[in-house]
Protein backbone atom coordinates (compact mmCIF):
# COMPACT_ATOMS: atom_id res chain seq x y z
CA UNK A 1 0.00 0.00 0.00
CA UNK A 2 1.32 3.44 -0.78
CA UNK A 3 -1.18 5.88 0.58
CA UNK A 4 0.31 9.21 1.60
CA UNK A 5 -1.00 10.96 4.68
CA UNK A 6 -0.27 14.54 5.67
CA UNK A 7 -1.22 15.34 9.24
CA UNK A 8 -1.25 18.99 10.34
CA UNK A 9 1.79 19.82 8.24
CA UNK A 10 3.37 23.21 8.87
CA UNK A 11 6.37 24.72 7.08
CA UNK A 12 7.99 27.94 8.19
CA UNK A 13 10.97 29.47 6.44
CA UNK A 14 12.71 31.50 9.16
CA UNK A 15 10.33 33.49 11.35
CA UNK A 16 8.00 34.45 8.53
CA UNK A 17 4.41 33.63 7.75
CA UNK A 18 4.01 29.84 7.34
CA UNK A 19 4.42 28.82 3.69
CA UNK A 20 2.29 25.74 4.53
CA UNK A 21 -0.15 26.16 7.37
CA UNK A 22 -1.66 23.13 9.13
CA UNK A 23 -2.42 21.07 6.03
CA UNK A 24 -4.02 17.65 6.51
CA UNK A 25 -4.60 15.53 3.45
CA UNK A 26 -5.04 11.79 2.82
CA UNK A 27 -4.06 10.51 -0.60
CA UNK A 28 -5.36 7.00 -1.22
CA UNK A 29 -3.34 4.17 -2.75
CA UNK A 30 -3.47 4.65 -6.53
CA UNK A 31 -5.12 8.03 -6.33
CA UNK A 32 -4.22 10.95 -8.62
CA UNK A 33 -4.14 14.03 -6.39
CA UNK A 34 -3.63 17.53 -7.73
CA UNK A 35 -2.24 20.40 -5.67
CA UNK A 36 -3.36 23.67 -7.18
CA UNK A 37 -3.40 27.35 -6.30
CA UNK A 38 -1.96 30.71 -7.32
CA UNK A 39 1.75 31.50 -7.21
CA UNK A 40 3.23 31.33 -3.71
CA UNK A 41 0.35 29.32 -2.18
CA UNK A 42 2.81 26.66 -0.96
CA UNK A 43 2.12 23.80 -3.36
CA UNK A 44 5.77 23.21 -4.34
CA UNK A 45 6.84 23.42 -0.71
CA UNK A 46 4.26 20.77 0.18
CA UNK A 47 5.46 18.46 -2.58
CA UNK A 48 9.10 18.96 -1.59
CA UNK A 49 8.23 17.95 1.96
CA UNK A 50 6.62 14.74 0.69
CA UNK A 51 9.77 13.89 -1.28
CA UNK A 52 12.03 14.86 1.60
CA UNK A 53 13.78 17.79 -0.09
CA UNK A 54 12.45 20.15 2.57
CA UNK A 55 12.27 19.74 6.35
CA UNK A 56 8.87 19.65 8.00
CA UNK A 57 8.47 22.30 10.74
CA UNK A 58 5.69 20.38 12.48
CA UNK A 59 3.13 17.69 11.73
CA UNK A 60 3.50 14.11 10.49
CA UNK A 61 4.09 12.73 7.02
CA UNK A 62 3.18 9.06 6.53
CA UNK A 63 3.83 6.92 3.48
CA UNK A 64 2.26 3.46 3.46
CA UNK A 65 1.31 4.03 7.10
CA UNK A 66 4.90 4.73 8.23
CA UNK A 67 6.17 8.07 9.48
CA UNK A 68 8.85 9.41 7.15
CA UNK A 69 9.56 12.89 8.56
CA UNK A 70 13.21 12.09 9.23
CA UNK A 71 13.80 9.77 6.28
CA UNK A 72 16.22 10.84 3.55
CA UNK A 73 14.68 11.31 0.07
CA UNK A 74 16.35 8.16 -1.31
CA UNK A 75 14.82 6.06 1.48
CA UNK A 76 11.27 7.16 0.72
CA UNK A 77 11.00 5.23 -2.56
CA UNK A 78 9.21 8.03 -4.38
CA UNK A 79 9.85 9.06 -7.96
CA UNK A 80 9.92 12.71 -8.84
CA UNK A 81 9.34 13.59 -12.49
CA UNK A 82 10.88 16.95 -13.30
CA UNK A 83 9.83 19.64 -15.74
CA UNK A 84 12.75 19.00 -18.11
CA UNK A 85 12.63 15.19 -17.59
CA UNK A 86 16.33 15.22 -16.63
CA UNK A 87 17.26 12.57 -19.24
CA UNK A 88 20.89 11.84 -20.15
CA UNK A 89 21.29 12.85 -23.81
CA UNK A 90 24.26 10.56 -24.46
CA UNK A 91 22.50 7.43 -23.15
CA UNK A 92 19.96 5.33 -25.02
CA UNK A 93 16.38 5.03 -23.85
CA UNK A 94 17.28 1.62 -22.42
CA UNK A 95 20.19 3.02 -20.41
CA UNK A 96 18.19 6.04 -19.27
CA UNK A 97 15.51 3.75 -17.85
CA UNK A 98 18.10 1.38 -16.40
CA UNK A 99 20.00 4.22 -14.75
CA UNK A 100 18.48 4.02 -11.25
CA UNK A 101 19.08 0.25 -11.17
CA UNK A 102 22.74 0.64 -12.14
CA UNK A 103 23.12 3.21 -9.34
CA UNK A 104 22.38 0.46 -6.82
CA UNK A 105 25.73 -1.11 -7.68
CA UNK A 106 25.71 -4.87 -7.78
CA UNK A 107 22.15 -5.19 -6.51
CA UNK A 108 20.77 -6.32 -9.84
CA UNK A 109 22.29 -8.71 -12.38
CA UNK A 110 22.32 -7.73 -16.06
CA UNK A 111 19.47 -10.17 -16.68
CA UNK A 112 17.38 -8.62 -13.95
CA UNK A 113 18.05 -5.13 -15.28
CA UNK A 114 17.10 -6.20 -18.79
CA UNK A 115 13.88 -7.76 -17.58
CA UNK A 116 12.88 -4.77 -15.45
CA UNK A 117 13.60 -2.29 -18.24
CA UNK A 118 11.62 -4.44 -20.70
CA UNK A 119 8.66 -4.53 -18.31
CA UNK A 120 8.69 -0.78 -17.93
CA UNK A 121 9.18 -0.14 -21.63
CA UNK A 122 6.34 -2.39 -22.67
CA UNK A 123 4.01 -0.74 -20.20
CA UNK A 124 5.00 2.63 -21.60
CA UNK A 125 4.97 1.48 -25.24
CA UNK A 126 8.64 2.32 -25.64
CA UNK A 127 9.82 -1.10 -26.83
CA UNK A 128 10.63 0.11 -30.32
CA UNK A 129 12.65 3.05 -29.09
CA UNK A 130 15.01 1.41 -26.59
CA UNK A 131 18.13 1.96 -28.72
CA UNK A 132 17.38 5.59 -29.55
CA UNK A 133 18.78 8.64 -27.79
CA UNK A 134 16.50 11.22 -26.14
CA UNK A 135 17.37 13.82 -28.79
CA UNK A 136 15.55 11.70 -31.41
CA UNK A 137 12.34 11.34 -29.42
CA UNK A 138 9.16 13.41 -29.35
CA UNK A 139 8.26 15.34 -26.21
CA UNK A 140 5.67 12.73 -25.30
CA UNK A 141 8.17 9.88 -25.69
CA UNK A 142 10.71 11.72 -23.54
CA UNK A 143 8.09 12.16 -20.86
CA UNK A 144 7.45 8.41 -20.98
CA UNK A 145 11.16 7.66 -20.62
CA UNK A 146 11.22 9.88 -17.53
CA UNK A 147 8.27 7.94 -16.17
CA UNK A 148 9.96 4.67 -17.12
CA UNK A 149 12.92 5.61 -15.00
CA UNK A 150 10.53 6.24 -12.15
CA UNK A 151 8.63 2.95 -12.44
CA UNK A 152 11.63 0.69 -13.14
CA UNK A 153 12.52 0.67 -9.49
CA UNK A 154 8.87 0.17 -8.40
CA UNK A 155 8.51 3.55 -6.74
CA UNK A 156 5.55 3.82 -4.38
CA UNK A 157 4.39 7.11 -5.85
CA UNK A 158 4.95 9.59 -8.66
CA UNK A 159 5.43 13.22 -7.82
CA UNK A 160 5.18 15.85 -10.53
CA UNK A 161 6.03 19.53 -10.09
CA UNK A 162 4.52 21.53 -12.96
CA UNK A 163 5.89 19.06 -15.52
CA UNK A 164 4.23 20.71 -18.53
CA UNK A 165 4.73 24.39 -17.84
CA UNK A 166 7.62 24.77 -20.33
CA UNK A 167 5.68 23.35 -23.27
CA UNK A 168 3.55 25.04 -25.90
CA UNK A 169 -0.23 24.68 -25.64
CA UNK A 170 -0.58 21.86 -28.19
CA UNK A 171 2.12 19.64 -26.74
CA UNK A 172 0.87 20.38 -23.25
CA UNK A 173 -2.55 19.04 -24.23
CA UNK A 174 -1.05 15.85 -25.69
CA UNK A 175 1.18 15.23 -22.70
CA UNK A 176 -1.69 15.81 -20.34
CA UNK A 177 -3.70 12.98 -21.89
CA UNK A 178 -0.58 10.83 -21.98
CA UNK A 179 0.11 11.31 -18.27
CA UNK A 180 -3.53 10.58 -17.43
CA UNK A 181 -3.50 7.36 -19.48
CA UNK A 182 -0.22 6.19 -18.01
CA UNK A 183 -1.24 6.85 -14.45
CA UNK A 184 -4.55 5.00 -14.88
CA UNK A 185 -2.80 2.05 -16.46
CA UNK A 186 -0.20 1.78 -13.72
CA UNK A 187 -2.44 2.78 -10.85
CA UNK A 188 0.44 4.41 -8.98
CA UNK A 189 -0.33 6.98 -6.31
CA UNK A 190 0.42 10.36 -7.85
CA UNK A 191 0.74 13.91 -6.57
CA UNK A 192 0.82 16.56 -9.24
CA UNK A 193 1.47 20.25 -8.64
CA UNK A 194 0.16 22.79 -11.11
CA UNK A 195 -1.28 26.27 -11.31
CA UNK A 196 -3.10 25.34 -14.51
CA UNK A 197 -6.71 24.63 -13.80
CA UNK A 198 -7.25 22.65 -17.02
CA UNK A 199 -4.63 20.18 -15.79
CA UNK A 200 -6.23 20.19 -12.37
CA UNK A 201 -9.70 19.50 -13.73
CA UNK A 202 -8.76 16.86 -16.29
CA UNK A 203 -6.08 14.86 -14.48
CA UNK A 204 -7.09 14.64 -10.87
CA UNK A 205 -9.27 12.10 -9.12
CA UNK A 206 -9.33 14.82 -6.51
CA UNK A 207 -7.99 18.35 -6.39
CA UNK A 208 -6.64 20.15 -3.32
CA UNK A 209 -6.93 23.94 -3.60
CA UNK A 210 -4.46 26.00 -1.56
CA UNK A 211 -4.40 29.68 -0.70
CA UNK A 212 -1.52 31.26 1.22
CA UNK A 213 -0.49 27.90 2.66
CA UNK A 214 -3.98 26.99 3.83
CA UNK A 215 -5.98 24.15 2.31
CA UNK A 216 -9.33 25.51 1.11
CA UNK A 217 -11.10 22.45 -0.29
CA UNK A 218 -10.28 18.90 -1.39
CA UNK A 219 -12.82 17.41 -3.75
CA UNK A 220 -13.41 15.85 -7.16
CA UNK A 221 -13.14 18.31 -10.07
CA UNK A 222 -16.91 18.21 -10.52
CA UNK A 223 -17.62 18.95 -6.88
CA UNK A 224 -15.16 21.84 -6.88
CA UNK A 225 -16.88 23.28 -9.92
CA UNK A 226 -20.42 22.79 -8.71
CA UNK A 227 -20.01 23.15 -4.95
CA UNK A 228 -17.07 25.46 -4.17
CA UNK A 229 -16.90 26.04 -0.42
CA UNK A 230 -15.92 29.69 -0.69
CA UNK A 231 -15.39 32.68 -2.99
CA UNK A 232 -11.71 31.84 -3.48
CA UNK A 233 -12.32 28.33 -4.81
CA UNK A 234 -15.30 29.54 -6.85
CA UNK A 235 -13.14 32.20 -8.48
CA UNK A 236 -10.15 29.94 -9.04
CA UNK A 237 -11.93 27.04 -10.73
CA UNK A 238 -13.65 27.77 -14.05
CA UNK A 239 -12.76 29.65 -17.21
CA UNK A 240 -14.06 32.22 -17.87
CA UNK A 241 -14.46 32.55 -14.13
CA UNK A 242 -17.71 32.60 -12.20
CA UNK A 243 -19.49 35.96 -12.23
CA UNK A 244 -19.56 37.58 -8.82
CA UNK A 245 -22.37 40.10 -8.45
CA UNK A 246 -23.05 42.28 -5.44
CA UNK A 247 -26.55 41.66 -4.11
CA UNK A 248 -28.71 43.35 -1.46
CA UNK A 249 -30.59 41.08 0.93
CA UNK A 250 -34.32 41.93 0.77
CA UNK A 251 -37.41 40.38 2.24
CA UNK A 252 -37.67 37.00 0.48
CA UNK A 253 -35.31 37.99 -2.32
CA UNK A 254 -31.82 39.06 -3.34
CA UNK A 255 -31.49 42.31 -5.26
CA UNK A 256 -28.97 41.68 -8.04
CA UNK A 257 -27.83 44.45 -10.41
CA UNK A 258 -30.39 43.42 -13.07
CA UNK A 259 -33.17 41.64 -11.25
CA UNK A 260 -34.56 40.55 -7.89
CA UNK A 261 -34.22 36.80 -7.35
CA UNK A 262 -36.61 35.10 -4.91
CA UNK A 263 -34.96 32.97 -2.21
CA UNK A 264 -36.36 30.20 -0.03
CA UNK A 265 -36.97 30.49 3.73
CA UNK A 266 -33.85 28.46 4.59
CA UNK A 267 -31.44 30.80 2.82
CA UNK A 268 -33.41 33.78 4.09
CA UNK A 269 -32.82 32.50 7.62
CA UNK A 270 -29.08 32.03 7.01
CA UNK A 271 -28.77 35.56 5.68
CA UNK A 272 -30.58 37.15 8.62
CA UNK A 273 -28.81 40.35 9.68
CA UNK A 274 -26.81 40.60 6.41
CA UNK A 275 -27.31 43.54 4.11
CA UNK A 276 -25.01 42.70 1.26
CA UNK A 277 -23.86 39.39 -0.16
CA UNK A 278 -22.01 38.21 -3.27
CA UNK A 279 -23.97 36.14 -5.76
CA UNK A 280 -21.98 33.77 -8.00
CA UNK A 281 -23.29 32.57 -11.36
CA UNK A 282 -21.20 30.69 -13.89
CA UNK A 283 -21.16 32.35 -17.35
CA UNK A 284 -22.72 29.34 -19.08
CA UNK A 285 -25.70 29.20 -16.72
CA UNK A 286 -27.05 32.45 -18.15
CA UNK A 287 -29.02 31.81 -21.32
CA UNK A 288 -30.39 33.70 -24.31
CA UNK A 289 -34.15 34.27 -23.78
CA UNK A 290 -34.82 33.98 -27.51
CA UNK A 291 -33.35 30.48 -27.66
CA UNK A 292 -35.04 29.26 -24.49
CA UNK A 293 -32.77 26.19 -24.07
CA UNK A 294 -33.20 24.12 -20.89
CA UNK A 295 -35.48 26.67 -19.36
CA UNK A 296 -36.76 25.58 -15.96
CA UNK A 297 -40.10 26.71 -14.52
CA UNK A 298 -38.19 28.67 -11.90
CA UNK A 299 -36.01 30.57 -14.35
CA UNK A 300 -35.50 34.24 -13.58
CA UNK A 301 -35.60 36.50 -16.63
CA UNK A 302 -34.03 39.94 -16.99
CA UNK A 303 -32.90 42.41 -19.62
CA UNK A 304 -29.43 43.93 -19.82
CA UNK A 305 -27.43 46.13 -22.19
CA UNK A 306 -24.69 44.21 -23.98
CA UNK A 307 -21.46 46.15 -24.29
CA UNK A 308 -19.42 43.72 -26.36
CA UNK A 309 -19.67 40.26 -27.88
CA UNK A 310 -17.19 37.64 -29.11
CA UNK A 311 -18.53 35.00 -31.46
CA UNK A 312 -16.44 31.80 -31.64
CA UNK A 313 -18.69 29.63 -33.82
CA UNK A 314 -19.87 27.09 -31.28
CA UNK A 315 -20.25 29.66 -28.52
CA UNK A 316 -20.49 33.35 -27.92
CA UNK A 317 -19.37 35.58 -25.08
CA UNK A 318 -21.39 38.67 -24.16
CA UNK A 319 -19.99 41.31 -21.79
CA UNK A 320 -22.48 43.23 -19.71
CA UNK A 321 -21.40 46.06 -17.41
CA UNK A 322 -23.35 46.83 -14.25
CA UNK A 323 -23.15 49.39 -11.48
CA UNK A 324 -21.96 47.92 -8.20
CA UNK A 325 -22.38 48.60 -4.52
CA UNK A 326 -18.93 49.98 -3.73
CA UNK A 327 -18.41 48.08 -0.44
CA UNK A 328 -18.88 44.71 -2.06
CA UNK A 329 -16.95 45.73 -5.15
CA UNK A 330 -13.93 46.54 -2.95
CA UNK A 331 -14.08 43.01 -1.52
CA UNK A 332 -14.29 41.53 -5.00
CA UNK A 333 -11.26 43.56 -6.09
CA UNK A 334 -9.32 42.16 -3.16
CA UNK A 335 -10.37 38.62 -4.06
CA UNK A 336 -9.35 39.11 -7.66
CA UNK A 337 -5.89 40.23 -6.61
CA UNK A 338 -5.55 37.11 -4.47
CA UNK A 339 -6.31 35.16 -7.64
CA UNK A 340 -3.43 36.99 -9.39
CA UNK A 341 -5.83 39.31 -11.25
CA UNK A 342 -5.74 43.08 -11.52
CA UNK A 343 -9.00 43.86 -9.76
CA UNK A 344 -12.58 42.95 -10.62
CA UNK A 345 -14.37 44.94 -13.32
CA UNK A 346 -18.09 45.47 -12.66
CA UNK A 347 -18.95 43.41 -15.69
CA UNK A 348 -20.84 40.18 -16.15
CA UNK A 349 -19.61 37.61 -18.67
CA UNK A 350 -22.20 35.42 -20.33
CA UNK A 351 -21.22 32.32 -22.29
CA UNK A 352 -24.02 31.79 -24.80
CA UNK A 353 -24.70 29.12 -27.39
CA UNK A 354 -23.15 29.91 -30.81
CA UNK A 355 -26.69 30.12 -32.27
CA UNK A 356 -27.39 33.23 -30.21
CA UNK A 357 -28.11 36.37 -32.27
CA UNK A 358 -27.36 38.75 -29.41
CA UNK A 359 -25.03 41.50 -30.64
CA UNK A 360 -23.16 44.49 -29.23
CA UNK A 361 -25.48 47.33 -28.26
CA UNK A 362 -28.54 45.04 -27.88
CA UNK A 363 -30.80 45.08 -24.93
CA UNK A 364 -30.74 41.33 -24.44
CA UNK A 365 -33.31 39.17 -22.70
CA UNK A 366 -31.51 36.60 -20.58
CA UNK A 367 -32.49 34.06 -17.95
CA UNK A 368 -30.96 31.69 -15.43
CA UNK A 369 -32.08 29.04 -12.99
CA UNK A 370 -31.65 30.43 -9.44
CA UNK A 371 -30.95 26.90 -8.19
CA UNK A 372 -27.57 27.21 -9.95
CA UNK A 373 -26.66 30.41 -8.18
CA UNK A 374 -24.25 30.58 -5.23
CA UNK A 375 -24.52 33.04 -2.38
CA UNK A 376 -21.30 34.03 -0.59
CA UNK A 377 -20.59 35.99 2.55
CA UNK A 378 -18.51 39.00 1.41
CA UNK A 379 -16.47 38.98 4.65
CA UNK A 380 -15.60 35.32 5.20
CA UNK A 381 -16.16 34.20 1.61
CA UNK A 382 -18.25 31.26 2.84
CA UNK A 383 -20.72 29.73 0.40
CA UNK A 384 -24.23 29.59 1.90
CA UNK A 385 -25.73 27.46 -0.87
P1 LIG B 1 4.85 28.86 -7.53
O2 LIG B 1 3.67 28.39 -8.31
O3 LIG B 1 5.17 30.31 -7.78
O4 LIG B 1 6.04 27.97 -7.60
P5 LIG B 1 4.07 27.70 -5.00
O6 LIG B 1 2.61 27.68 -4.74
O7 LIG B 1 4.71 26.47 -5.45
O8 LIG B 1 4.40 28.90 -5.97
P9 LIG B 1 6.04 27.77 -2.93
O10 LIG B 1 7.18 27.80 -3.89
O11 LIG B 1 5.78 26.53 -2.20
O12 LIG B 1 4.72 28.23 -3.65
O13 LIG B 1 6.24 28.97 -1.90
C14 LIG B 1 5.35 29.21 -0.81
C15 LIG B 1 5.85 30.40 -0.02
O16 LIG B 1 7.08 30.08 0.63
C17 LIG B 1 6.12 31.63 -0.85
O18 LIG B 1 5.73 32.76 -0.12
C19 LIG B 1 7.62 31.59 -1.04
O20 LIG B 1 8.14 32.89 -1.20
C21 LIG B 1 8.11 30.96 0.24
N22 LIG B 1 9.35 30.19 0.04
C23 LIG B 1 9.51 29.14 -0.77
N24 LIG B 1 10.77 28.64 -0.69
C25 LIG B 1 11.42 29.41 0.23
C26 LIG B 1 12.75 29.41 0.76
N27 LIG B 1 13.65 28.50 0.39
N28 LIG B 1 13.04 30.36 1.69
C29 LIG B 1 12.13 31.27 2.07
N30 LIG B 1 10.87 31.32 1.62
C31 LIG B 1 10.51 30.41 0.69
Domain boundary, last residue among 170, 197, 229: 229
Q: How many Å is the Cα radius of gyration of the chain?
A: 25
User: Is residue 329 over pLDDT 80?
Assistant: no
DSSP state of 168: -
User: Is residue 1 over pLDDT 80?
Assistant: no
Strands 243-250 and 66-67: unpaired
pLDDT at 364: 96
Domain boundary, last residue among 229, 248, 282: 229
Percent of the chain residues past pLDDT 70, beyond the cut: 99
DSSP state of 73: G
Nearest-atom index, ligand 1, CA of 213: 14
Same domain, 200 and 297: no
pLDDT at 107: 87
Domain carrying residue 116:
4-229
User: Is residue 171 over pLDDT 90?
Assistant: no
pLDDT tens digits for 310-327? Answer: 999 999 999 999 887 677
Give ligand 1 pocket residues (Cβ under 6 A): 13, 19, 37, 39-45, 195
Same domain, 152 and 280: no
pLDDT at 253: 96
- Provide the number of structural domains found in the chain: 2
Cα 213 to middle of ligand 1, angstroms:
9
pLDDT tens digits for 281-318? Answer: 999 999 999 997 778 889 999 999 999 999 999 999 99
pLDDT at 174: 81
- Residue 362 binned pLDDT confidence (cut-offs 50, 70, 90): very high
Domain boundary, last residue among 214, 229, 244: 229
Which own/partner pairs from 61-67 qualify as long-range (CB within 8 Å, at least 24 positions apart)?
61/4, 61/5, 61/6, 61/7, 61/9, 62/3, 62/4, 62/5, 62/7, 63/2, 63/3, 63/4, 63/5, 63/156, 63/157, 64/1, 64/2, 64/3, 64/156, 65/1, 65/3, 65/5
Number of neighbours of residue 239 by Cβ within 10 angstroms: 10
pLDDT at 189: 94
Pocket test for ligand 1, best of 18, 21, 38, 45 (most atoms within 8 A of CB): 45
Same domain, 106 and 183: yes
What is the rounded (10 degree) CA torsion for 48, 26, 31, 198? -70
Same domain, 108 and 41: yes
pLDDT at 259: 94
pTM score: 0.89
Nearest-atom index, ligand 1, CA of 46: 11
Nearest-atom index, ligand 1, CA of 48: 11
Same domain, 168 and 241: no
ipTM exceeds 0.95: yes
C-alpha 20/C-alpha 212 separation (Å) is 7
Cα 383 to middle of ligand 1, angstroms:
28
Cα 327 to middle of ligand 1, angstroms:
32
Same domain, 55 and 96: yes
Cα 107 to middle of ligand 1, angstroms:
38
Weakest mean pLDDT among 16-30, 145-159, 194-208: 145-159
Same domain, 20 and 115: yes
pLDDT tens digits for 24-83? Answer: 999 999 999 999 999 999 999 999 999 999 999 999 999 999 999 999 998 898 988 776
- Residue 334 binned pLDDT confidence (cut-offs 50, 70, 90): confident
pLDDT tens digits for 194-246? Answer: 988 889 999 999 999 999 999 999 999 999 999 999 999 999 999 899 999 99
Cα 119 to middle of ligand 1, angstroms:
38
- Residue 357 binned pLDDT confidence (cut-offs 50, 70, 90): very high
Nearest CA to ligand 1 atom 14: 42
Nearest-atom index, ligand 1, CA of 161: 7
Cα 39 to middle of ligand 1, angstroms:
8
pLDDT tens digits for 78-111? Answer: 988 776 677 899 999 999 999 989 987 788 999 9
Cα 337 to middle of ligand 1, angstroms:
18
Same domain, 247 and 200: no
Average pLDDT, the chain: 91
Same domain, 170 and 41: yes
C-alpha 350/C-alpha 352 separation (Å) is 6
Nearest CA to ligand 1 atom 29: 13
Nearest-atom index, ligand 1, CA of 37: 6
User: Is residue 339 over pLDDT 90?
Assistant: no
Reported residue count of the chain is: 385
Nearest CA to ligand 1 atom 26: 13
C-alpha 217/C-alpha 224 separation (Å) is 8
Amino acid sequence: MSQIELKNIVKKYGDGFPAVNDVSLDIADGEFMILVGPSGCGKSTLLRMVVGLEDITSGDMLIGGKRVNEKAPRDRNLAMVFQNYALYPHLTVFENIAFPLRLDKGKYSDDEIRSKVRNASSMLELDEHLERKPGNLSGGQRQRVAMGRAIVRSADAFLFDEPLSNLDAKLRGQMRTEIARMQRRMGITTIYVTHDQTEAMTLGDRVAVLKKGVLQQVASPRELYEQPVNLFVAGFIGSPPMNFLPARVKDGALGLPFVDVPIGPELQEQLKGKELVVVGIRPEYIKDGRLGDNRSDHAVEFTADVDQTEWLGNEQYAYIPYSAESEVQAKLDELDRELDGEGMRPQMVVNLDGRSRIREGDEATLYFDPALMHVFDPESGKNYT
